[in-house]
Amino acid sequence: MKFILPKKEVPTLNYITLEMGIKLVKDTFERKLANRLNLTRVSAPLFVEVNTGLNDDLNGIERSVGFDIKEVNTTAEIVHSLAKWKRKALKDYDFQVNTGLYTDMNAIRRDEELSNIHSIYVDQWDWEKIILKSQRNHDTLKDHVNKIVGALKETEEVVCDAFINLEKFVSEDVFYITSQELLDLYPTLSAKEREYEIVKKHKTVCLMQIGKKLSDGTAHDGRAADYDDWDINCDILVYYPVLDIALEISSMGVRVDEHSLVKQLEAKNQLEKLGLPYHQSLINLELPYTIGGGIGQSRLCLLLLNRVHIGEVQASIWDSETKRIAKSLNINLL
């Protein structure tokens, strides 16, 4: 367990005030995101059947939480995210080009390494939008990044008006850079060290092309092969001085098409997945071309409410050492 000690004082908020702040952040951002991206809220599953190919495999090594269903005689697993489910839903719900959906995604990631910004409980807004094949490019990616950051900045203004002791940390001026350009800029640093340096300098950064192999033979970070196109994806990062870190707010991207799917599965030696129902639908051109991503709800509350630990804005399970340190710092874990 890694507990990052705060680098500056934060305002004191009691439980009730904090809960009011959490609701304000979530209600405001959700509304502004939907308006900017032309999204409609839908209901989404907490779990999916095993062997459908719908669950997000993350880096391919994380264990899902599974269980059997007596009455249905099948096995299900808690979603890691809804990255692939959303694309199928857009077709099933008959969404049209340049419209999309968003939903509350709740997950359990039991192999997560816990810290101030990582919990086994994951809550995020998962969103997905239909685009034309001709829109599968960096201009489309950047346009959606700018709109998301704009919604984030608007939400920050609303929250800081309501809670006058809070500081503003979000810059609406997004700095764009690819993972290869970042490696070229800081060749002696690790991936996370490179992120920190560029984000501390530019405050709000869109780091593009996550998952593809770089010139040193590594990938900047892991990314599943069967949802984001590694050439047209990104992470949105914000510098958070309370913890002196690069805080990832969103992972998103233009989704794979029938060609990049095969190419990326081959790169990860996972071509056997092409036999799964979801992947067959993609190969047979039965699903729309889309862009989408996830935006962390608790991460957003941590940032906009100037908190030290994600356990202040969500209820989860923590080890005894985390609880001890939090108590010594007068940090209230929910």
Catalytic annotation, residues: 56, 109, 124, 235, 248, 251
C-alpha closest to that of 303 among 215, 231, 236, 256? 236
DSSP string, 113-140: --BSS--SEEEEEEEEEE--GGG-SHHH
> Within 13 Å and on the Cβ side, how many CA atoms surround 103?
20
- CB 209 within 8 Å of CB 240: no
Alpha helix stretches (DSSP H) within the chain: 15-37, 85-92, 138-162, 179-185, 191-202, 258-267, 277-283, 297-304, 320-328
* C-alpha radius of gyration, the chain, whole number: 20
C-alpha closest to that of 100 among 53, 148, 134, 59? 148
In the block, tokens 């799964």 appear at 276
What are the contacts of 58-64 at 24+ separation with CB within 8 A?
58/109, 58/222, 58/224, 59/222, 59/223, 59/224, 60/222, 60/224, 60/268, 60/270, 61/111, 62/109, 62/111, 62/112, 63/110, 63/111
What tokens were used for 250? Answer: 């969103």
DSSP string, 58-97: TTS-PPP-EEEETTTTEEEEE-S--TTHHHHHHHHTT--T
Cα diameter, the chain:
58
